[in-house]
Structure 1
Amino acid sequence: MTVNIARHIAPRPDAVQFAEQLGDDLAEEIDDLESSPEMIDFTLNSAVMNLRARCVVDPRAAAVETWEAAVTAMQLGSALFAVTGASEGIIESRIDRKMRSLPAIGERSTADAGNWLTAFWLAVICREQDRMTQLCEIPLERLRAPEGQYDEYIYHWVDTLQTYWLRRPGLVEKLTATFEASNSSVARIAPRDLLDGVLYPPINLFYHFVRKDEEGFSPALVEALKLHRLYWTLNEDREADIDGSIALGPLAIACLAYDGEIPIEVESDYLPKHLLQHSWLGEFPT
């Protein structure tokens, strides 16, 4: 039996115009990257916001503009780590339907584990396996942020995902370490409600996925979406925040499960149908 989890956020009267304006602004930011590559982290944030805005007005991701928004965000996520992975030379990256020549900028603090997770989720959702591999080959130490920015669990989590995708040994031990470090009695930096409602659920979902737990995956996904909704409806400011429009981490893990033929007995606008089912895959170069 399929469970439906209603999304809390509804389009405002000006939602379409807002999304279109975000898209126009993003296109200008992307055009400026060849002369200002150091702005790529800011542009990635704009692209993710644009994707969320598109999903507000197109909750099933049935429009090609929504798929383009997902692809553009994914391309920028990969480009962030490409241009910060070299200190000289030009990085050729396809972004927003064009090949861009981006000067390398060397290491930046924003090329960290948090943005790595965002980039990886986007690559998973877009089924960009080569980009997933490139991201997973980035050394973990390169992703460390200044002390005090993240709990240690995030590095165990990145290590777990890299180990899974590259088929390295030690997956069980690394996932166990991730569980232990993400416990609210251990984590000290992430707020408790953020940890429980947004950061931990993808880890739990991944556990059911790697175990090929067909009976347990959909209930865990239902729980993840309910926790997502609970977090984003805690107060009026959060409820109006576009960041809650989709559940990016759970969506990415659900994409892995869908491709692995694990039944997804959950429907929700937090998981846009055509992103989950990769309906637009191959429509244009990525």
Structure 2
Amino acid sequence: MNFIAEVLEERRFFVQWLVDSPFDAGGPLAGVKFQTKVCIAMDTFAHLVRGDSDRFNASLASGLELFRSFHTATPERSEKTEGGGPLSLFALACWGYDSALVDPDFRFEVESGYLPKHILERDWVGAFPL
């Protein structure tokens, strides 16, 4: 295991401890919001660094679904711009897409309305004069 993977593994256990911690019940680190903003992105990143495309795709898809379900759970949340898109997951999706282009063993298999296809696949490059 390389250094980055080891550090990510240690942080994943620490984050899981924070989420499960009885000292944090009801605190700012508890619940779905923390999981959608931090834990899923860290998990997705860890699988990307390890080159595990199956787990990367599953984690990314799960994170996008958690994001959607959290930000559409109430009418108030649905109207906030904060729920417009999961930027951390989109950034990881772009990195995963690029990894699949150069690594024949890595596959990018996630499609979602939260991942604009033309930005992800860079179809728009050159479309606008500079």
TMscore range, shorter length: 0.7 to 0.9
- Letter in structure 1 aligned against 2:55: G
Q: CA deviation at 1:209?
A: 0.8
> Could you tell me which residue of structure 2 aligns to residue 270 of structure 1?
114
Q: Deviations over 1:144-189 (max 9, x none)?
A: xxxxxxxxxxxxxxxxxxxxxxxxx731232123212322025653
Residues of 2 paired with 1:199 and 1:242: CA distance? 19
Q: Aligned residue for 2:37?
A: 198
1:154-169 pair list within 5 angstroms? none
Aligned-residue identity in percent: 28
| Structure (1/2) with the larger strand percentage | 1
The CA RMSD over aligned residues, in Å, is: 2.2
Report the counterpart of residue 10 of structure 2 in structure 1.
Answer: 177
Structure 1, residues 47-85: CA drift from partner, whole Å, max 9, x if none?
Answer: xxxxxxxxxxxxxxxxxxxxxxxxxxxxxxxxxxxxxxx
Deviation at 1:269, TM superposition (A): 1.4
The alpha carbon displacement at 1:254 in A equals: 0.9
2:82 & 2:129 partners in 1: Cα distance?
27
Q: Which runs of 5+ in 1 are unaligned?
A: 1-168
Contact residue 198 and residue 231 of structure 1 kept, 8 A: no
C-alpha distance in structure 1 between counterparts of 2:83 and 2:28, whole Å: 21
Unpaired runs of at least 5, structure 2: 101-105
What SS is found at the alignment partner of 2:111?
Answer: strand
3-state SS in 2 of match to 1:200: helix
Report which of the two has the higher share of helix. 2
Rounded Cα–Cα distance in structure 1 between residues aligned with 2:30 and 2:20: 12
What secondary structure does 1:271 align onto? coil
Cα distance between partner residues in 2 of 1:275 and 1:205: 20
1:94 counterpart residue number? none
Change (3 A) 1:213 1:233: same
Structure 2 residue aligned with 1:251, among 90, 96, 103? 90
Structure 1 counterpart SS, 2:20:
coil
Distance 2:12 2:129 in 1: 39
Is 1:280 aligned to 2:119, yes or no? no
Q: Deviations over 1:123-164 (max 9, x none)?
A: xxxxxxxxxxxxxxxxxxxxxxxxxxxxxxxxxxxxxxxxxx
Q: Name which structure has the greater RCO, CA cutoff 8 Å, separation 6+.
A: 1
Measure how far apart 1:191 and its partner are: 4.1
* Count of paired positions: 117
TM-score (norm 2): 0.76
